Chains A and B, each alone.
Chain A
Amino acid sequence: MTVLEQPGSYRPAPPPAWQPRTDPAPLLPDAEPYRLLGTDAAAGLDPALLKRLYGQLVRGRRYNGQATALTRQGRLAVYPSSTGQEACQVAAGLVLEERDWLFPSYRDTLATVVRGLDPVQALTLLRGDWHTGYDPHEHRIAPLCTPLATQLPHAVGLAHAARLKGDDVVALAMVGDGGTSEGDFHEALNFAAVWKAPVVFFVQNNGFAISVPLAKQTAAPSFAHKAVGYGMPGRLVDGNDAAAVHEVLSEAVRRARGGAGPTLVEAVTYRIDAHTNADDATRYRADSEIEAWRAHDPIDLLERELTGRKLIDEAGMRAEREAAERLAADLRERMNQDPALDPMDLFTHVYAEQTAQLREQADRLRAELAAAGESATQEGAQR
């Protein structure tokens, strides 16, 4: 008789020892989005920071309004508004040092402007005179990224490279709730955690991926919970509370800078406007939902805090609104000028050294342009 023929007599050897690679408990996000404004903790906040956040929020809201208006005037091809999400945009634009890098998506032009980019350069992609309107190295702002979540692995690679070179650089990568469903989101978070790369992943959960609501996007308890699966901490924050977002992002940046690796931050916010000016949001959501979020507006929240603590008066608020108007007027004026276009640019930057085939095609276009110019001159002479 073998052991297998004797029921109950066979005791398998214990399996090789197993233990979790990391303790999951400290990685878990809070049960509720973290809030500061309107709570007792807000009393300890730096008044100068609050006033700075307020000024940027007011300007940011005006910028969103102005950019949307420019689409109606035909000056922008399209504008994905961040109205309602200004607290996230402003905080993301302020928490980084100059040497750090920001990786924005197409909805994050406001964050790039807060970081110091000229709004006309930020809007180049959406005006359509070129793809990226600025030198990414000059501002340490990666090109606005259109294919969802594909910028996240770039942030990981850049942060990893900086660390290999011994540079103290953090990358902050922005993505929306829809973008978290993309494979690149997963690959980026996994790489970042394995490499302990100094990256902060910032999910602005604005409730919609164009028309598709959250419930059809994920079954996870929250996006912040996804962090645990990668072995990094997840933080859940009220995305309309500028002070809370600023604090949570700052902590994540500090943590990354200190060598502790990446953090996933989810900010719960709401996209007040449609996906873009070309979208019709009435087809997929009720006005009552929007109104509920308007009552939790990021500017109002901060304004109540500031006025309640008498850190700002009506004159101070008016001064901020006037400053925002001046910025909007400047943007309007400059965007109303036709951009300088050179069709030959189409061939200039495809390769470091132009191929024979592209040289030939460039010559063809140049000849077409010359011919068109001549016939226009002749038409002019005939009139």
Chain B
Amino acid sequence: MTTAAVRSGHKPATMAQALGRALRDAMADDPSVHVLGEDVGALGGVFRVTDGLAKEFGEDRCTDTPLAEAGILGAAVGMAMYGLRPVVEMQFDAFAYPAFEQLISHVSRMRNRTRGAVPMPVTVRVPYGGGIGGVEHHSDSSEAYYMATPGLHVVAPATVADAYGLLRAAIASDDPVIFLEPKRLYWSKDHWDAAHPETVPGIGRAVVRRPGSSATLITYGPSLPVCMEAAEAAVAEGWDLEVVDLRSLVPFDEETVCASVRRTGRAVVVHESAGFGGPGGEIAARVTERCFHHLEAPVLRVAGFDIPYPPPMLEQHHLPGVDRVLDAVARLQWESQWTSAGHEGGAR
């Protein structure tokens, strides 16, 4: 990815390093920030994101807890009630499920239940998604569950810079944030100015990663690199694809998404989680409701199959790849450009 950082010659960093740096800076800036989870101390987390935090800030600030996710999140609720800003690590996507009752019945509702008297500034970091050769229960894309719970924010970074910026914003938020860390991007590298890391103005803003005019690919998290690659490959087919990185599923940045679709007239939503009942359905419905008269074709979805996450030796058949994205683009009724002449963004 070409950024100002590349031109300025900063050293490459991984997403895991940027996340760790965000935690470190947040803890240094605000003594109320506490990290807790399984193996986050001496080990530095199974993905090493919390590496060095216990050493630098002490075990009271970066705490290895007993192995119990409901207990971890439940304790975080009490800590937040007492004015702390807990950052919880759930070791893997599918290991976060025991904490669902705390999340749904308390974390998401406490502010509303108490008319704002008890906010929940809790960040729940969830290493999520597949593509890392993980055995069962290590590759789930669980964002739809979280999205379906009012009161939560749901965020997924796709770049090294966003990993830092969005995590800082999540920790600073006075509301609970589900922070989905795409596991297969943990070791993705980008030139990144670690001395002056970029921040984001807040959560809830999408960004256009690649401007284009033929159609819009709407995506987030682990599917962004897939879409960027698809967009480059599409050039040979004569398609100039725009890629929108949502960054945040809740709040959903309708403005940026709809502005793009109104310009291009066509859209494909791409994500790894199951299609049925997945984020793509909500996004496609919204885009259709808001941009109907600008659309040249139905909004399509490219998603994971509606199956339990496959074993590692079969996962490549499940994960949406470049070809599947291009196939969807090809189905966007390009012949209609001859019958709808005059559409501001349709014909090419």
Closest Cβ neighbor of A189 among chain B residues: B71
Q: How far is the CB of B306 from chain A (nearest CB, A)?
A: 26
Chain B 110-149 near chain A by CB (<8 Å), digits 1 or 0: 1111111111000000000000000000000000000000
Closest Cβ neighbor of B104 among chain A residues: A147
> Quick one: which of A100-154 are within 8 Å of B by CB?
130-132, 135-137, 142-143, 147, 150, 152-154
Closest Cβ neighbor of A147 among chain B residues: B105
Q: State whether A150 touches B117 (Cβ < 8 A).
A: no
Q: State whether B71 touches A143 (Cβ < 8 A).
A: no
Q: How far is the CB of B158 from chain A (nearest CB, A)?
A: 21
A156 within 8 A of B: yes
Q: State whether A153 touches B118 (Cβ < 8 A).
A: no
The prevalent SS among residues of A at the interface is helix
The interface residues of chain A lying within 8 Å CB-to-CB of B65 are 191
B70 within 8 A of A: yes
Q: State whether B255 touches A356 (Cβ < 8 A).
A: yes
- Expressed in whole angstroms, the Cα–Cα distance for A345 and B252 within the complex equals 22
Which of these, A164, A349, A355, contacts B204 with CB under 8 Å? A355
A214 within 8 A of B: no
B74 within 8 A of A: yes
B82 within 8 A of A: yes
Q: State whether A153 touches B113 (Cβ < 8 A).
A: no
Q: State whether B81 touches A132 (Cβ < 8 A).
A: no
The interface residues of chain B lying within 8 Å CB-to-CB of A341 are none
Closest Cβ neighbor of A183 among chain B residues: B70
Q: State whether A142 touches B115 (Cβ < 8 A).
A: no
B211 within 8 A of A: no
Q: State whether B119 touches A183 (Cβ < 8 A).
A: no
The interface residues of chain A lying within 8 Å CB-to-CB of B71 are 153, 156, 184, 187-188, 190-191
B27 within 8 A of A: no
Q: How far is the CB of B211 from chain A (nearest CB, A)?
A: 23
Q: State whether B105 touches A143 (Cβ < 8 A).
A: no
Q: How far is the CB of A171 from chain B (nearest CB, A)?
A: 8
Q: State whether B74 touches A351 (Cβ < 8 A).
A: no
A158 within 8 A of B: yes
Q: State whether B81 touches A352 (Cβ < 8 A).
A: no
In the complex with contacts A147-B101, A350-B150, A355-B251, A157-B78 CB distance below 8 A: yes
The interface residues of chain B lying within 8 Å CB-to-CB of A350 are 111-112, 150-151
- Expressed in whole angstroms, the Cα–Cα distance for A46 and B164 within the complex equals 61
Q: How far is the CB of A353 from chain B (nearest CB, A)?
A: 8
The interface residues of chain A lying within 8 Å CB-to-CB of B106 are 147, 150, 154
Chain B 80-91 near chain A by CB (<8 Å), digits 1 or 0: 111110100000
Q: State whether B68 touches A154 (Cβ < 8 A).
A: no
Q: State whether B74 touches A156 (Cβ < 8 A).
A: yes
> Quick one: which of A162-180 are within 8 Å of B by CB?
162, 164-165, 171
Chain B 47-81 near chain A by CB (<8 Å), digits 1 or 0: 00000000000001000011010110111111111
- Expressed in whole angstroms, the Cα–Cα distance for A131 and B113 within the complex equals 5
The interface residues of chain B lying within 8 Å CB-to-CB of A137 are 117-118
Closest Cβ neighbor of B252 among chain A residues: A357
Closest Cβ neighbor of A351 among chain B residues: B175
B254 within 8 A of A: yes
Among A161, A164, A194, residue most surrounded by chain B Cβ atoms (within 10 Å) = A161
The interface residues of chain A lying within 8 Å CB-to-CB of B109 are 131
Q: How far is the CB of A235 from chain B (nearest CB, A)?
A: 23
Q: How far is the CB of B205 from chain A (nearest CB, A)?
A: 11
Which of these, B74, B98, B116, B151, contacts A188 with CB under 8 Å? B74
Q: How far is the CB of A231 from chain B (nearest CB, A)?
A: 12
Q: State whether A351 touches B70 (Cβ < 8 A).
A: no
In the complex with contacts A130-B115, A352-B119, A357-B252, A136-B81 CB distance below 8 A: yes
Q: State whether A157 touches B115 (Cβ < 8 A).
A: no
The interface residues of chain B lying within 8 Å CB-to-CB of A131 are 109, 112-114
- Expressed in whole angstroms, the Cα–Cα distance for A130 and B74 within the complex equals 23
In the complex with contacts A150-B102, A352-B175, A142-B251 CB distance below 8 A: no
- Expressed in whole angstroms, the Cα–Cα distance for A187 and B78 within the complex equals 14
Q: How far is the CB of A15 from chain B (nearest CB, A)?
A: 24
Q: How far is the CB of B159 from chain A (nearest CB, A)?
A: 24
A160 within 8 A of B: yes
B193 within 8 A of A: no
Which of these, A142, A345, A348, A357, contacts B81 with CB under 8 Å? A142
B174 within 8 A of A: yes
The interface residues of chain A lying within 8 Å CB-to-CB of B60 are 164
The interface residues of chain B lying within 8 Å CB-to-CB of A160 are 75, 78-79
The interface residues of chain B lying within 8 Å CB-to-CB of A348 are 115-116
Among B60, B78, B83, B101, residue most surrounded by chain A Cβ atoms (within 10 Å) = B78
The interface residues of chain B lying within 8 Å CB-to-CB of A352 are 111, 116, 119, 173-175
The interface residues of chain A lying within 8 Å CB-to-CB of B83 are 161, 165
- Expressed in whole angstroms, the Cα–Cα distance for A188 and B70 within the complex equals 9
> Quick one: which of B241-277 are within 8 Å of A by CB?
250-252, 254-255
Closest Cβ neighbor of A137 among chain B residues: B117
Q: How far is the CB of A143 from chain B (nearest CB, A)?
A: 6
Q: Which residues from chain A sit less than 8 Å from chain B, CB to CB?
A: 130-132, 135-137, 142-143, 147, 150, 152-162, 164-165, 171, 183-184, 186-188, 190-191, 194, 345, 348-352, 355-357
Between A and B, 11 residue pairs with Cβ closer than 8 Å are A131-B114, A135-B114, A136-B118, A153-B75, A160-B79, A183-B98, A187-B71, A191-B66, A349-B112, A352-B111, A352-B173
Name the 6 nearest CB pairs between A and B, nearest first.
Answer: A157-B78, A153-B74, A187-B71, A157-B75, A158-B78, A161-B82
Q: Which residues from chain B sit less than 8 Å from chain A, CB to CB?
A: 34, 60, 65-66, 68, 70-71, 73-84, 86, 98, 101-102, 105-106, 109-119, 150-151, 153, 173-175, 204, 250-252, 254-255
